[in-house]
Structure 1
Amino acid sequence: MANPITCFKAYDIRGELNSQLTEEVAYRIGYAFAEELDAKTVVVGSDVRLTSTPLKLALSAGLIDAGAKVTDIGMAGTEEIYFATKHLGVDGGIEVTASHNPINYNGMKLVKAGSIPISGDTGLNAIKERAEALSDKFVNGRLAHYFNNETVDANAFFNGNAHIHKDLLSSTGQYEESSCMSDYVEHMLSYVNLDNFTSLKVVVNAGNGSAGPALDAIEKAMLANNVPIEFIKVHHNADGTFPNGIPNPLLPENRADTADAVKASGADFGIAWDGDFDRCFLFDADGEFIEGYYIVGLLAEAFIEKNTDSKIIYDPRVYWNTEAIVANAGGTPIKSKTGHAFIKERMRKEDAVYGGEMSAHHYFRDFAYCDSGMIPWLLIAELVCVKKQTLASMVKERIKAFPSSGEINSKLNDADAALERVTGKYQPLASVVDTTDGLGLEFGTWRFNLRKSNTEPVIRLNVESKGDIPLMEEKTKEVLALIRAE
């Protein structure tokens, strides 16, 4: 291949369409994936983006030509691929998704058998090398075959028109379309006792992403079991043009539609998902956004109540609240480096029942140690019913006890220099120095974590205190001023 493939990242594949990620590149990735894993069976799915189906079909062609049988579960969220890979007992799974990236991007998330993640040093780099090594003549010839010998540009697919003919994939005998939705829903509902549910009204905002169909299937099953739940649906229909913007509730400017619907409908709480719904974000009955940090504590406590002596994995950005809750409930808190590959690896090593990150990624042992955007809200809904408390009341005391700044990003000319400035001033004063991920320093009643981005000149700051909001705010301003003093 004349030029290197540039869409491979540390944990997944993401790239700009037509320049970094094309149908040709997707074919190469599929072929290389099957070769590297010696995969004979692979499940594939794609999010709602218009370009995801063309990429998925090209990917499938590569998988087939390398000897794999492909099961296509259609439009799906990333967690549906995680579920299908484990449930069907196949050799690997690939979800075509760009999650919350801009419309002119797409990507892929890859797992091995058992839904074990594939990252740079666990196979992703090797797949990249194999993909690049395939001869242009071979790849172009196979694409021409699957394009039914039409004269087309494998790069010009941004309008979402699939160049690969699905009937040619099917004619190989190595491609089939199948659905795991009913089994997926049954598994989702296994995390809660439906008899515990009392009357609930919940706002759900799929952001026109892939969450809508999965939520509909869960709703149907809940109603069939006489669960008294009502969903108020916002931007619910799957639409790859994203008429209401790319779904990314982590951005404050993207929360108003959910918050307004909660207040207008008098809902008990609200839920919003990102594009491939591997993350869910919660709002209380007043429409207030709840930071993922405090949801980690809630879910940890819920699991420990059901499984005494449970091990709980958490990330090192903010953790005082999580540690306090887990220790008080009788569980074992275990700190892990941030990132899904690290969290999942540590969970497997410890056999932890649950892991949570402040970024709203929640991981579950019984879900192949993978993250899910559906399991968390189901557990929260059950908690609200069982405890007979509002979501706000369950978190407000924790927020008061351990107020946090939320993650604050600073784009700089020289991130290394900023890190040196902060280290030089604060590390000599710290009572605890933690380098699990970035720089974590504790000062008795307050602490902060500073992480440098691996891909851009950005510093990420998180500050928390023990029961002192003014102190947390003061120290946040103080550290930020030093970071940005270029």
Structure 2
Amino acid sequence: MGSQITCFKAYDIRGELNTQLTEEVAYRIGYAFAAELSAKTVVVGSDVRLTSTPLKLALSAGLIDAGAKVTDIGMAGTEEVYFATKHLGVDGGIEVTASHNPINYNGMKLVKAGSVPISGDTGLNAIKVRAEALSEEFVSGRLSHYTSDAFIDAEAFFNGQAHIQPEKLEETDQYLKQSCMKYYVAHMLSYIELSNFTRLKIVVNAGNGAAGPALDAIEQEMHRQNVPVEFVKVHHNADGTFPNGIPNPLLPENRADTADAVKASGADFGIAWDGDFDRCFLFDADGEFIEGYYIVGLLAEAFIEKNTDSRIIYDPRVYWNTEDIVVNAGGTPIKSKTGHAFIKERMRKEDAIYGGEMSAHHYFRDFAYCDSGMIPWLLIAELVCVKQQTLASMVKERIKAFPSSGEINSKLKDADAALERVTNKYQPLASVVDTTDGLGLEFDDWRFNLRKSNTEPVIRLNVESKGDISLMEEKTKEVLALIRAE
């Protein structure tokens, strides 16, 4: 039997380098992935981290040894792997990425044919079992086929010194390097009418992650078609050392560079991405950050305008604004459990055109029901031009109509006890009890959702009200006090 592997999570693979995730583990995952899926063709890609290429090459070696032909699309965002998997008609795809995790982490996101996600119950656990079952002798023997030494030391690995050389893989016809960028760009631009665009200036902050090259390719095609869009680029060059910090705009302390650039350049709005750019975050012309919740409503309305009677999927943390917009626009709102695997599954079941989470994940039926960090801003840019309104004016009234607290995390000694305290006090008074995901309670003019973390003793609270920001703030403090009364 092989070693216990600890980097498998509920929806993907994430682990600390050299302890939880090594070249050996990556090889095991590749071999097990191909064996479990009986995959003959697999797409792989990797983000900008220095350790992503070494891991991808070890992963590819495992895939090849299990009988798969590997197409390596190079440095890419997660959604580029999603796109290539469906576009090329292959049996599966794997992106090596740790997204916004610390520099000493890495991971993988896995999909089946058609870019259907692989999570715990849909194949990830089975891949883990297969990966662990491989003997140490087999793995080290096969790795030595691709390398002069089977293993590398921790410091070399952390510095991104690939142990498996690409030319070793290229000795067979089982490893192919191929770019899908041209087709990816064409697909991204298919969501909008470029003729609708008037002059725009947009700040784009790739955070030195994988978004820069994709944005450059989109910009090149826009300019080729004489679209009058100017991009002001911040931290644009891909750099695996992340000289400006790990890109995670969900954290308020990481937003200043984008906000300042918007104000300094007089841009119409700003965009910032996380490391693998499957999420995008928007800023208005004043540099104010716009919560993902309100972007969900904006995009839902845009899709319904183009496709009447559309089904829209949303998560249960905050939703009054989304429901109100969708119903008034003639669409059908459908609530789903939080998390990409659940959202994608529900979208397929309902044939929903769009799904959105407050965490800035946006899902699209025509993008294999996958999340994209490029499609949302393209749609927003088109809306700004067509409606001849600022982004701020499009969301201002919605924020006023349904003010929300944003997600507030509380780290506790006993999360279960906190959940019980809140349930006992508020559930008897609620007009609606919703257990789609965590505890959701509705009252006449305010509501909240409380969810436990799956991995740590943390409670996540979201509160919203109907047109009363003072009430929302008051109830947020009230519920938080009860949560934290340990």
TM bracket (short chain):
over 0.9
Which residue does the alignment assign to 1:306? 306
Q: Tell me the equivalent position of 1:150.
A: 149
**Does the 8 Å contact 2:2/2:135 carry over to 1?**
no
C-alpha displacement at 1:152, in angstroms? 4.0
User: Are the aligned partners of 1:22 and 1:154 in contact in 2 as well (CA < 8 Å)?
Assistant: no
Distance in 2 between residues matched to 1:415 and 1:423, nearest whole Å: 12
Task: Measure, in 1, the Cα distance between the counterparts of 2:174 and 2:234.
Answer: 39
Over the matched positions of the two proteins, sequence identity in percent amounts to 88
- The C-alpha deviation readout for 1:66-100, integer Å capped at 9, x for no partner, is 00000000000000000000000000000000000
Q: CA deviation at 1:159?
A: 1.0
User: What does residue 242 of structure 2 align with?
Assistant: 242
Shift of 1:21: 0.1
Contact 1:463–1:472 under 8 Å retained in 2:
yes
Partner of 1:270: 270
Measured in 2, the distance between the counterparts of 1:97 and 1:177 equals 18
State the SS of the aligned residue for 1:358. coil
Structure 1 residues 177-206: Cα deviation after superposition (integer angstroms, max 9, x where no partner)? 000000000000000000000000000000
The superposition leaves residues 285-342 of structure 1 with CA deviations (integer Å, 9 ceiling, x where unpaired) of 0000000000000000000000000000000000000000000000000000000000
Which residue number in structure 1 is paired with residue 49 of structure 2? 49
Partner of 1:122: 122
- What is the alpha-carbon distance in structure 2 between the residues aligned to residue 78 and residue 20 of structure 1? 21
Q: Superposition pairs for residues 88-127 of structure 1, below 5 Å?
A: 88-127=88-127
CA distance in 2, matches of 1:405, 1:150: 54
1:371 corresponding residue in structure 2: 371
1:63–1:69 CA contact under 8 A, matched in 2: yes
Q: How many residues align?
A: 485
Give, in whole Å, the separation in 2 of the partners of 1:116 and 1:208.
28
Alignment of structure 1 residues 455-470 onto 2, 5 Å = 455-470=455-470
1:369-399 C-alpha deviation (Å, 9 max, x unpaired): 0000000000000000000000000000000
Shift of 1:157: 1.1
Distance 2:152 2:382 in 1: 52
Q: Is the 8 A contact 2:12 2:108 kept in 1?
A: yes
Q: Which runs of 5+ in 2 are unaligned?
A: none
Q: 2:404: which partner in 1?
A: 404
Q: Indicate yes or no: 2:296 matched with 1:292.
A: no
Q: Is the contact between residue 15 and residue 107 of structure 2 (CA under 8 Å) also seen in structure 1?
A: yes
Residue 36 of structure 1 aligns to a residue whose secondary structure is: helix
Q: How far 1:158 sits from its partner (Å)?
A: 1.1
What CA distance in whole angstroms lies between the structure 2 residues aligned with 1:163 and 1:169? 12
2: CA distance between counterparts of 1:94 and 1:241? 22
8 Å contact 2:270–2:285 — kept in the other structure? yes
Relative distance call for 1:177 and 1:199 in structure 2 (3 A) is: same
1:133 is matched with 133
Equivalent residues in 2 for 1:297-376, closer than 5 Å? 297-376=297-376
Counterpart amino acid of residue 47 in structure 1: D
> Equivalent residue for 2:192?
192
CA positional deviation for 1:151: 6.1
Distance (Å, rounded) in 2 between the aligned partners of 1:173 and 1:397: 58
Asked if 2 retains the 8 angstrom alpha-carbon contact of 1:413 and 1:457, the reply is yes
Q: For 1:6 and 1:465, locate their aligned partners in 2 and report how far apart those are by CA, in whole Å.
A: 41
Contact map agreement 2:71 2:177 (CA 8 A) in 1 = yes
Q: Secondary structure at the match of 1:171?
A: coil
Aligned residue for 2:477, secondary structure, equals helix
Structure 2 equivalent of residue 83 of structure 1: 83
- The letter for the 2-side match of 1:28 is R
How far did residue 150 of structure 1 move?
3.1
1:166 aligns with 2:166: yes
Q: What is the rounded CA distance, in whole Å, between the counterparts of 1:358 and 1:299 in structure 2?
A: 12
Following TM superposition, by how much is the alpha carbon of 1:154 offset from its aligned partner in structure 2, in angstroms? 6.6
Deviation per CA, 1:344-372, whole angstroms, max 9, x where unpaired?
00000000000000000000000000000
User: Whole-Å Cα distance in 2 between the matches of residues 451 and 179 of structure 1?
Assistant: 41
TM-score normalised by length of structure 1: 0.99
> Residue 198 of structure 1 aligns to a residue in which SS?
coil
Conserved? CA contact 1:269–1:284, under 8 Å: yes
- 2-structure distance, mates of 1:376, 1:153: 41
Aligned to 1:207: 207
Q: Distance in 1 between the 2:335 and 2:444 partners?
A: 19
Work out the CA distance in 1 between the residues paired with 2:168 and 2:81. Answer: 24
The CA distance in 2 between the partners of 1:107 and 1:334, in whole Å, is 31
Find out whether 1:440 has 2:440 as its counterpart.
yes
Summarize deviations over 1:108-155 as a string: whole Å, max 9, x none.
0000000000000000000000000001101000111111x2364375
Pair 133,154 (structure 1): closer, same or farther in 2 beyond 3 Å: farther
Contact 1:202 1:229 in 2 (8 A): yes
Q: Is this contact kept in 1: 2:309–2:331, CA < 8 A?
A: yes
Secondary structure of residue in 1 paired with 2:45: strand
Secondary structure (helix, strand or coil) at the match of 2:324 reads: helix
In the other structure, the counterpart of 2:253 is: 253
For residue 37 of structure 1, what is the aligned residue in structure 2? 37
Measure, in 2, the Cα distance between the counterparts of 1:170 and 1:245.
Answer: 35
Deviation at 1:172, TM superposition (A): 1.8
In 2, are the aligned partners of 1:312 and 1:354 still within 8 Å (CA)?
yes
Deviations 1:43-63 (A, max 9, x none): 000000000000000000000
Hey, what's the Cα distance between the residues in 2 that align with 1:91 and 1:151?
Answer: 29
Taking structure 1 as reference, are residues 154 and 123 closer, same or farther at Cα in structure 2, changes over 3 Å only?
farther
CA RMSD of aligned residues (A): 0.8
Q: Which amino acid aligns with 2:364?
A: F
Alignment partner of 2:264: what SS? Answer: helix
Whole-angstrom CA distance in 1 between matches of 2:327 and 2:435? 22
* Kept in 1: contact 2:46–2:74 (CA 8 A): yes
| 1:424 corresponding residue in structure 2 | 424
Report the alpha carbon displacement of residue 252 of structure 1 after superposing the two structures with TM: 0.2
Q: TM-score, normalised by structure 2?
A: 0.99
